[in-house]
Copies of this chain bind each other. A is one copy, B any other.
Amino acid sequence: MGTRVTLRSVAEAAGVSTAAVSYAFNRPDRLSAEMRSRILAVARELGYSGPDAAARSLRTGRANAIGVIFTTELTYAFSDPYVLALLGGLAETLAHSRTSLVLIPFVSVVAGLTDAEVRQSLDAVHRAVIDGAVADGLTDDHPAVRALSDRALPLVRSSETTTGRCVLIEDRQAGRDIGRHLANLGHRDVAVVVSSPGAPGRIVPRVDEATLYPYSRNRLVGIREGLPADARVRVVSGGSNAFASGHAAAAAILAAPDRPTAIAADSDVLAAAVVETATGLGLHVGQDLSVTGFDDVPLAASAGLTTVRQPIEEKGRLMARMLLDPDGTPNRVTLPTELVVRSSTGPVPAR
Contacts and interface: CB of A to CB of B under 8 A. Distances in A.
Contacts of A79: 84, 88
A65 B129 contact: yes
A27 interface: no
A91 B103 contact: yes
Most buried by B among A57, A94, A101, A129: A129
A91 B256 CA distance: 38
Interface string A41-80: 0000001011111111110010111010000011101110
A123 interface: yes
Interface string A97-119: 01111111101000000000000
A118 to B, nearest CB: 12
A88 B101 contact: no
A127 interface: yes
Contact of A88 (B61, B75, B88, B127): B75
Contacts of A91: 74-75, 77-78, 103, 105
Contact of A56 (B51, B92, B127, B130): B127
Contacts of A152: 49
A105 B51 CA distance: 19
Most buried by B among A54, A63, A95: A54
Contact of A99 (B61, B77, B85, B105): B105
Contacts of A56: 127
Most buried by B among A56, A64, A79, A103: A103
A25 B315 CA distance: 36
A88 B78 contact: yes
